[in-house]
DNA sequence: GAGGTTGTTCGACGAATGTCGAACATGGGT
DNA sequence: ACCCATGTTCGACATTCGTCGAACAACCTC
């Protein structure tokens, strides 16, 4: 069992939320597809990336998940060929109280 | 000159906050210059547009104030050649409780 | 009215963003 | 080993965005 480094695969960039500019966090949430992803994640638990089928290609989906991750909003666990994403709810709520609640409960203006 | 139906002055577009998509509200706040403006406005009261000198030209400043206004975040009162802007704090707080507080109290991770 | 102040609008430009298909990488199954 | 499923990365492309100077419009004061 080699407990040494991880030569083969890239480490996932998951910054601390406090190191991310507020504008980056807001920009990450200011997209319809990403907001749908966040809403789905807010149900709780982990979701494989492939779960999110919102009318975009898998390349685009991967891009959006990267934006959310690098904004400090999600955490990703690698398991085999799949990656499981979950919302960093407690951390977001602690640093930005009310932000997620405000965004998630928003009604879409018909 | 005859009156050609051309309006004497454009009406300011100030939508109701509930008619603005959440993504538009978030996008309006996801900019450094606009965030500085909102922070200044959060002090309370009205501010003339020229008050905001944040290293951008007056054309850019006018653009940012338009974005904030059309996102339903600010209200503008015309008085002579000046325009006085104020934050629609109550309405924002009512529709998105915690949003402004979360954004305004954010520390810059510089 | 002339001139100055305040703010908006109009192109124009570069940068950033969302999107896709295709190629690639990795791991699981048979 | 081969194939397939899951995701990422790489151009490429169109669109949007932030920025500016210049022109314009409205207003106030002399």
Binary contact (A19, B109; C-beta < 8 A) = yes
> Rg (Cα) of chain A, in Å, rounded?
15
Which contiguous run of DSSP H or E holds residue A34?
Answer: helix A32-41
Which chain B residues contact residue A22 at CB under 8 A? 35, 103, 106, 108
Structure tokens at B51: 């008050």
CA angle, corner B26, sides to B24 and B28, nearest 5?
A: 70
Name the CA radius of gyration of chain B, rounded: 15
Cβ under 8 Å to A: B residues 1-20: 18-20
Sign of the four-CA dihedral B94, B98, B99, B104 = positive
Name residue A76's beta-bridge partners. Answer: A85
Closest CA of chain B from A3, distance in Å: 34
The angle at the Cα of B23, spanning A40 to B93, to the nearest 5 degrees, equals 95
| Residue B96 confidence class, pLDDT cut points 50, 70, 90 | very high
CB contact under 8 A, A32 and B20: no
Domain formed by B17-104, architecture: Orthogonal Bundle (1.10)
Spans in chain A with pLDDT lower than 70 = 1-11, 108-110
| Residue whose tokens read 């602690």 | A94
CATH topology of domain A17-103: Arc Repressor Mutant, subunit A (1.10.10)
H-helix segments, A8-88: 22-29, 32-41, 58-70
Going by pLDDT thresholds of 50, 70 and 90, the confidence category of residue B90 is very high
Domain boundaries, chain B: 17-104
B69 touches strand D (CB under 7 A): no
pLDDT in tens, B5-56: 334 444 678 999 999 999 999 999 999 999 999 999 999 889 999 998 899 9
């Amino acid at each position: 069992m080699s407990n040494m480094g991880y030569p083969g695969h890239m480490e996932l960039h998951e910054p601390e939320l406090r190191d991310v500019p507020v504008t980056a966090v807001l920009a990450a949430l200011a997209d319809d597809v990403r907001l749908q992803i966040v809403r789905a994640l807010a149900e709780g638990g982990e979701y494989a990336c492939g779960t999110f089928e919102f009318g975009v290609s898998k390349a685009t989906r991967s891009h959006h998940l990267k934006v959310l991750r690098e904004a400090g909003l999600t955490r990703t666990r690698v398991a085999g060929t799949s990656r499981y994403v979950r919302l960093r709810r407690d951390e977001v709520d602690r640093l930005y109280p009310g932000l997620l609640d405000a965004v998630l409960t928003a009604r879409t203006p018909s």
